[in-house]
Amino acid sequence: MKKIFYTLLFFPLAIVAQVNVEFKKENFKDRKDELKDAINNIENGDDFFGRSTAYYSSALPFYIKANDFNPNNALLNFKIGLCYLHSSFKGKATTYLELAYKLNPIVAPDIHYWLARTYHLSMEWDKAIASYQKFLTVAKEMNNTEFYQTAGKKITECKNGKELVQKPVRVFIDNIGSTVNSADPEYGAVISADESVMMFTSRRNTTTGGGMDIEINQHYEDIYITYRKNGQWITSVNMGEPVNTKNRHDAVSSVSADGQTLLIYLDDKKNGSGNIYICENKNGVWGKPEKLNKNINSDYHESGACISPDGKTIYFTSDKPEGGLGKHDIFMSKLDEKGKWGAPVSLGTGINTAYDEDAVFIHPDGKTLYFSSEGHNSMGGLDVFKTVYDEKTKTWSKPENMGYPINSPDQDVFFVLSASGKHGYYTSIKPDGKGDADVYMITFLGAEKPPVMSNEDNLLASLTAPIKETVVMQKVDVTVPQLTLLKGIITDAITQKPLQATIELVDNTKNEIIATFQSNGSTGKYLVSLPAGKNYGIAVKCEGYLFHSENFDIPLTNGYQEVNKDVQLKNVKVGSKIVLKNIFFDTDKSTLRSESTAELERLIKLLNDIPTLKIEISGHTDSRGSDDHNLKLSDARAKAVVDYLVAKGISKDRLKSAGYGETKPIDSNDTEEGLQNNRRTEFEILSK
């Protein structure tokens, strides 16, 4: 549960009657009954107002009724202004606070602070700064360092805001509609990398168990889910048990790129500080959330977390003092050899500040981190920032404010970005909302097209004979991540039944497994994120089936792309063939390259797992070159694979090699893609 607290800077309230009208009998001699009702309403409102800011919404209706009777009471207008300032309708606060000040300039010693807040939120920067400076004088006279520092920080935020709004980023920001948003608060939306599924948190009366948290005067948080169909989000539904629990806060923190693994905030501590849990979908069913270890969870408030695309690093936020700078900070932990999360490490002073850092999200590119912060050059409240990790220097870049209008003087949190980089989602309170915090979609438009100016010749010519000319504007693209999204469905080649298969992602250059994933057992769907700059080997394995391999060599120059690759696994039976797509040879030679090791080791494991299996290794070429040369080359390559297997302990009598040259093409030789497909190494099961 994201907890955002507003500190009320209250002092004993002073009332000086000027043009101020008190709720007294002598002021309403002929309206005694109405006065009595108004006083009762004020008392009822005060009962809620005195509890906490969470109950201001309950106090407001009583105060409004009393204000309808007497709109010229400074103290009542002040309280109404504070109620609105802590609601979804902050813009209404200004009128009441300004009137309170006009009726009685010393209605409260912190009146200038709250007036400054209303101007700040409406981006009236200069008026806000002036009011904050007036409050600085009050705080200084009272020798209150905390209040003095608070106002000073707010002045800095206003100055940041003045700069940021001068260079707005080109985006559309749209409420994603009533299928997700309601009159209740919706926030913390997370998406699969391809934007096919979204989970979010809401406090509705449909919460599991239907309970109310009396501390915050709202329903308990639950997690909801929706799917994208034909470009639209369908009506969301409560995910139910075991993902959600009764009479506790359950809030989604992040989801894996394939939408199959959730990190959840669960309010399971007596002090309400909560822990991070992991929840996985297996065969189409969500399992019971499991608590992460003590290196992640502590006795303090762990507000959220996300896991890197390779599943080996977790980033989380906590207000624990060890390694922190004061409030919530961002930490990271690596998965150790035993599959446990290791000791946490702070991301350091370049990322963390003396203020809150929260709502952390790692992009599917594995190197771009987004988070919200009250520090850095925030324009007010929490702003969204991004930082990029440099693998060479092992450092994070200086956090960059995502800019206006993404960020505002209010709270801007829970930002996530699609793999394509075209759409972001975050939580905001805006005039077009459904009643409270809503989920909004940000569409990034890229840099503005530069204007095309007419040259001098055209200008002169147009004086006598206007020239009509079609000018083609220079295309401006949105900056996209260097990332390939590989997705598809894994099925049985004969029955077409979806399979829960294991997908190994290998760095062929280093011959090491980068990550391991699983397809969904009920649908067969899988999704893997492949950041640019590597030669990837992908192996799909399922018990009782031959493994399937793919190769993706993705240079750093590649932008974003989505590749759909359905995989049909073949049963281990006589006659089954598969192409070994991660076997590599030097050009026009039969020398096995080191990048082939992982694929060869998979073949060795298959032969060791089924010790009676006998196979033929066959080499094939494209049509370029002479028939004789191609035949010899293919034969030599097949023998090189057999020799490798024998050297690794596989009996020679289980292996046969054959070179077929260009005689058995599987694709056209008229295209580069076809030529490459025909240059291949295969194996076929001869007996089992």
**Phi and psi (nearest 5°) for 468?**
-95, 120
| Domain presence at residue 218 | yes
Per-residue pLDDT at 262:
95
Per-residue pLDDT at 271:
63
Same-domain pairing of 101 and 140: yes
On the question of pLDDT at 15 being above 50, the answer is no
What gap in Å lies between CA 189 and CA 418, rounded to an integer? Answer: 12
Q: The tokens of 607 are what? A: 């032969």
Per-residue pLDDT at 11:
45
Burial environment of residue 463 by CB neighbours within 10 A (0 to 12, 13 to 18, 19 or more): exposed
Same-domain pairing of 192 and 315: yes
Same-domain pairing of 561 and 580: no
Q: Which of 415, 444, 473 is the last residue of a domain?
A: 444
What is the DSSP code string of 273-292? Answer: --EEEEEEEETTEE---EE-
| CB-based contact 415:425 (threshold 8 Å) | yes
| CB-based contact 84:109 (threshold 8 Å) | no
| Residue range 635-654: mean pLDDT, rounded | 95
| Residue range 485-510: mean pLDDT, rounded | 92
On the question of pLDDT at 9 being above 70, the answer is no
| Domain presence at residue 457 | no
Q: The tokens of 498 are what? A: 């979806």
Per-residue pLDDT at 188:
94
| CB-based contact 659:629 (threshold 8 Å) | no
| Domain presence at residue 414 | yes
| CB-based contact 566:489 (threshold 8 Å) | yes
Strand 567-569 to 483-492 pairing: parallel
pLDDT band per the 50, 70, 90 thresholds, residue 141 = confident
Q: pLDDT by residue (tens digit) across 438-490?
A: 999 999 986 555 554 444 443 333 333 443 444 444 444 556 788 999 999 99
Number of helices (H), then strands (E), in the chain: 11, 37
| Domain presence at residue 229 | yes
Same-domain pairing of 175 and 150: no
Same-domain pairing of 578 and 604: yes
Per-residue pLDDT at 66:
97
Same-domain pairing of 558 and 523: yes
| More confident of the two residues 447 and 314 | 314
**Phi and psi (nearest 5°) for 643?**
-60, -40
Strand 275-282 to 548-554 pairing: unpaired
| Domain presence at residue 9 | no
What gap in Å lies between CA 115 and CA 457, rounded to an integer? Answer: 57
pLDDT band per the 50, 70, 90 thresholds, residue 377 = very high
List, edge to edge, every strand of the sheet that includes 423-428. 171-175, 438-444, 423-428, 413-417
Same-domain pairing of 235 and 355: yes
Q: Which of 571, 593, 626 is the last residue of a domain?
A: 571
Q: Which of 110, 129, 164 is the last residue of a domain?
A: 164
What gap in Å lies between CA 237 and CA 161, rounded to an integer? Answer: 38
Same-domain pairing of 567 and 579: no
Same-domain pairing of 221 and 358: yes
Per-residue pLDDT at 427:
93
Helical axes 627-647 vs 597-609, angle rounded to 10°: 60
| Residue range 132-136: mean pLDDT, rounded | 94
| More confident of the two residues 325 and 472 | 325
Same-domain pairing of 157 and 177: no
On the question of pLDDT at 614 being above 60, the answer is yes
What gap in Å lies between CA 154 and CA 245, rounded to an integer? Answer: 39
What gap in Å lies between CA 427 and CA 175, rounded to an integer? Answer: 10
| Domain presence at residue 269 | yes
On the question of pLDDT at 12 being above 60, the answer is no
| Domain presence at residue 180 | yes
Q: pLDDT by residue (tens digit) across 380-425?
A: 989 999 999 998 999 999 999 999 999 999 989 999 999 999 999 9
Domain extent, residue 586, equals: 574-688
Q: pLDDT averaged over the chain?
A: 88
| Domain presence at residue 469 | no
- List beta partners, residue 201: 187, 223
What gap in Å lies between CA 583 and CA 217, rounded to an integer? Answer: 63
Q: What percent of the chain has pLDDT over 90?
A: 71
Q: Which long-range contacts (CB under 8 A, 24 or more apart) does 496-500 make?
A: 496/568, 498/522, 498/523, 498/524, 498/525, 499/524, 499/542, 499/545, 499/569, 500/282, 500/283, 500/524, 500/542
Does residue 156 sit in helix, strand or coil?
helix
Q: The tokens of 419 are what? A: 């793999």
Per-residue pLDDT at 481:
84
Contacts of 607 (CB under 8 A, 6+ apart): 613, 615, 645, 650, 654
Does residue 185 sit in helix, strand or coil?
coil
Indicate the number of domains in the chain.
4
Per-residue pLDDT at 446:
65
Q: What is the CATH number of the domain that holds 649?
A: 3.30.1330.60
Q: What is the CATH number of the domain that holds 123?
A: 1.25.40.10
**Amino acid letter, residue 162:** K
| CB-based contact 147:114 (threshold 8 Å) | no
| More confident of the two residues 309 and 557 | 309
Per-residue pLDDT at 393:
93
Q: Which residue has the tokens 């979908």?
A: 281
**Amino acid letter, residue 656:** K
Q: What is the CATH number of the domain that holds 493?
A: 2.60.40.1120
**Amino acid letter, residue 671:** T
Q: What is the CATH number of the domain that holds 422?
A: 2.120.10.30
Same-domain pairing of 566 and 579: no
| CB-based contact 528:258 (threshold 8 Å) | yes
Same-domain pairing of 151 and 180: no
On the question of pLDDT at 18 being above 60, the answer is no
Per-residue pLDDT at 337:
86
